[in-house]
Chain A
């Protein structure tokens, strides 16, 4: 059994080091310039690439040190969007919810230089990270397009162009996250149509992360989402989505969340390994990718490292078990 089974990865974001959080605050108050901030973002990115290598993750991410929110980041760089006022997501957490105020267009690539920088720091593959068109619409206010479908399809063309630029820059894995895909199950066909526009003609492996919502409401239709791999939060749900695969077999690669990202405590290696074993009942080791449930940006750097170590150690344990089983 080689190390090419149960490839480990993460969903995209990591906790920002304190110096960067502070710098972002200063930049927001215009007490720090864009160049100085970017230098710190690059420093933090390099640190996270090194940490991921040290931990032993197989497919890396840039850690999104340069992003606050996965929709606002793109909205700030696209024409047609304006940045809205603060709205609450939970507790004392607020974000600037974007507003689609006009026809959207992409003046220039938005993530390519960060991908290139992160990839230049490691010989391991780094994923290109995008937010999908359905989520970009659903997490924005739409003042411009007559229907939600019109807006989603316009955004799909933008995400497609970004994905193609990432592929040209060498990305072997492109993740197009759609955490909002189950917001309105009656619109799943719009999300599928839009993803078809994004991934048409790409040769990179395509992945879509889905989390926190009623996955059962879109299964098995979501198997028609034109990506190679679905990346699902599972630990937070006690792995109950796996039961759905009994009736309708899962047909894609599965990146399986085996540690909860909303808890400060880290699961033991044994608990995390049990999650992988549950996934193996439905998906072969070649197609199963252990990872944390979701992006880790709400955790401290130390907690992120602990969670990732649990993923990697649990995977080693299960790989050993698999190696003992005669083929």
Chain B
């Protein structure tokens, strides 16, 4: 039986060669007023097409749209939602990559269609299974710079969860069946785990394969709690830091486990054997039909040529496990 592979988060928007930097040039030209929104939009679309093409060419089973239009994880909603503004720059967790902290200055409202256009566009391109993604409510809420509307973190998280419910419904109506909820705060701030679970109850949908995606930090403090979230799958990063997760994966009795085995934050290239060995460790406690191999996080932390190679290794490692069981 084949071991499924997938990507997480954003794909590199540009490459090193001049021909791969069209988006960078277009954004500069847009800033200078030399091209309008429509022309910039066309470039975004072309880069999205290229990203999906590269992910599929590597042989990955489930792709996303590469989040080419996203400045950072929170930006699609920070820009689209009423009651939220993109605020000051800050480093995104332990990365030398910045994001704009949301500032909440009113009641959060959305029509639930913030990502529908991008998803529909990607649907027209993807030849493999396509999943959507949204930022998770705990991450959005805990990374806010200011909140002038809600009286507590609990209120803020639940208000964001309600808005997320509308976005999820909008994506579902557009045809999405799989949606990643990227929520690293669940493992970065484990003390809020009960609040996060309550928030996920606001948008749980048995007809959708929702994945709670964690990364950067090990799930060790909350691993058993994650198993009680109303989602179809849990993604965990087993590479960024030491983790006890491999000995405890049997906590997930019904959910799929997306195992982040290819380090998307270091250029050192894993071997296919190494990837297969991680999978074999997990397979001691998770049956093959519920194990998915993934990158640890967004490949955008890597140069594009390295990202491409990492995808190749991910797929090759999965095939080693699925096929010949050659792993020592």
Contacts and interface: CB of A to CB of B under 8 A. Distances in A.
Interface of A: 84-92, 94, 97, 99, 138-139, 141-143, 180, 183-184, 212-213, 236, 262
A213 to B, nearest CB: 5
Given A86-B14, A90-B99, A212 B300 contact: no
Interface stretch (B87-95, B147-155, B219-227): B87-95
Contacts, number: 71
Interface in B225-279: 266-268
Nearest to B28: A92
Interface residues of B, number: 31
Interface in B5-45: 12-16, 24, 27-28, 31
Given A92-B27, A142-B268, A86 B88 contact: no
A217 to B, nearest CB: 10
Contact of B304 (A85, A139, A184, A236): A85
A262 B88 contact: yes
Given A86-B16, A88-B12, 5 more contacts: A87-B300, A88-B300, A99-B267, A212-B90, A262-B88
Given A90-B99, A92-B28, A142-B266, A84 B303 contact: yes
Contacts of B121: none
Interface string B296-318: 00001111111000000000000
Contacts of A94: 14, 24
Contacts of A184: 94
B98 A89 contact: yes
A89 B96 contact: yes
A87 B13 CA distance: 9
B111 interface: no
A89 B92 CA distance: 10
Given A141-B268, A213-B91, A180 B96 contact: yes
B54 interface: no
Nearest to A87: B303
B163 to A, nearest CB: 24
A238 to B, nearest CB: 9
Nearest to B92: A90
B89 A85 contact: no
16 contacts: A85-B302, A86-B14, A86-B304, A90-B72, A90-B89, A90-B98, A91-B27, A94-B14, A94-B24, A138-B96, A141-B267, A183-B95, A212-B89, A212-B91, A213-B91, A262-B88
Contacts of B16: 85-86
Contact of B267 (A86, A88, A143): A143
B267 A90 contact: no
Contacts of B301: 87
